[in-house]
Amino acid sequence: MAFCFARMFKPGDETLITNMDHEANRPPWRLLEQLGFVVNVVDIHPDTITLDFEDFKSKLSDKTKVFAINWAANSCGTITDVKKFIVEAHKYGAITIVGFVHYAPHKIIDVKDIDTDILQCSTYKYFGPHLGVTYSKKEIGDKLNSTRVQAYDNTQMPLKLETGTLAMELVNGAAEAIKFIADAGKHHMDQLEDEVKEYSGLRKEIVAGMKAFEYYEDELADALRVKMKDIKDSKFTVRERVLQEHLQFHSELKG
């Protein structure tokens, strides 16, 4: 995706990423610095381990062409209100890219609600194979200059984002993973009918399945938090330890 944009913009244009992103998301954009692009980074509040929204706004400008952000951080578990970041980025005409790898297994996704331009994940996070998936608004996808085998043989979305021959065994595995989630929704529909009555068909079953998973996970997480408080002589929780390591890692990057 980064190299799609590398062929669309000019040296001096800016990309904005964050210090909370997975390293799989940061280096591709960093590489664009070699082509003359400017890569700015949104900082983190060290006390709350959340993105500094004011720092983010201060680094937006008319030169910002792309803003890449994760929905949930795999390093520390922080869930970001991506919608408010997207609203601000769109004020400057920036294309927004949300990585939802760590968010996808736990929460319901609604691209219309957050209004992102591009959303990316791998299906292995929700019971599927390791297969990358991309959602893109049509008007954005039509503009992308993709990097693929025989790059000029197909310029139509979505096939132009495929690097070559489709791995059909992975595609079918991903489809079965969706069926699995929907099947869980069917099994729990009687308990969730009021919460999913606005949906219909497969979407209703998928949402019900994700809500069933979410409620189950929330109960487990609450039990874990209670038990961890009882650990004798523990000076901090696992989350706090992870957050300390996360801050140390990024301070070393800056240094």
Residues lower than pLDDT 70 in the chain? 148-154, 232-255
Q: Are residues 81 and 200 located together in one domain of the fold?
A: no
Is 110 within the bounds of a domain? yes
Q: Are residues 122 and 228 located together in one domain of the fold?
A: no
Is 15 within the bounds of a domain? yes
Question: What's the CATH code of the domain at 147?
Answer: 3.40.640.10
Q: Which pLDDT belongs to residue 244?
A: 58
The CA distance from 61 to 133, in Å, is 29
- The SS3 assignment for 99 reads strand
Q: Are residues 53 and 112 located together in one domain of the fold?
A: yes
The residues, ordered by sequence, that sit 6+ positions from 207 with a Cβ below 8 Å of its Cβ are 108, 185, 196, 199
Q: Are residues 51 and 70 located together in one domain of the fold?
A: yes
pLDDT tens digits for 47-63?
888 999 999 999 999 99
Q: Which pLDDT belongs to residue 198?
A: 94
- Helix segments in the chain, DSSP class H: 2-6, 26-30, 53-59, 82-91, 111-114, 138-141, 168-192, 201-229, 238-254
Q: Are residues 77 and 110 located together in one domain of the fold?
A: yes
On whether the CB atoms of residues 40 and 15 are closer than 8 A, the answer is yes
- As for how many domains the chain has, the answer is 2
Q: Are residues 30 and 154 located together in one domain of the fold?
A: yes
Is 254 within the bounds of a domain? no
Q: Are residues 154 and 201 located together in one domain of the fold?
A: no
Q: Are residues 19 and 145 located together in one domain of the fold?
A: yes
**Domain boundary at 117, 142, 162, which?**
162
Is 255 within the bounds of a domain? no
Q: Are residues 38 and 113 located together in one domain of the fold?
A: yes
Tokens of residue 177, six digits: 């993973």
Q: Are residues 59 and 111 located together in one domain of the fold?
A: yes
The CA distance from 250 to 228, in Å, is 27
Q: Are residues 145 and 233 located together in one domain of the fold?
A: no
Q: Are residues 27 and 87 located together in one domain of the fold?
A: yes
Is 63 within the bounds of a domain? yes
Q: Which pLDDT belongs to residue 243?
A: 55
Q: Which pLDDT belongs to residue 2?
A: 86
Q: Which pLDDT belongs to residue 216?
A: 92
Is 97 within the bounds of a domain? yes
Is 253 within the bounds of a domain? no
Structural domain harbouring 235? 171-246
Is 251 within the bounds of a domain? no
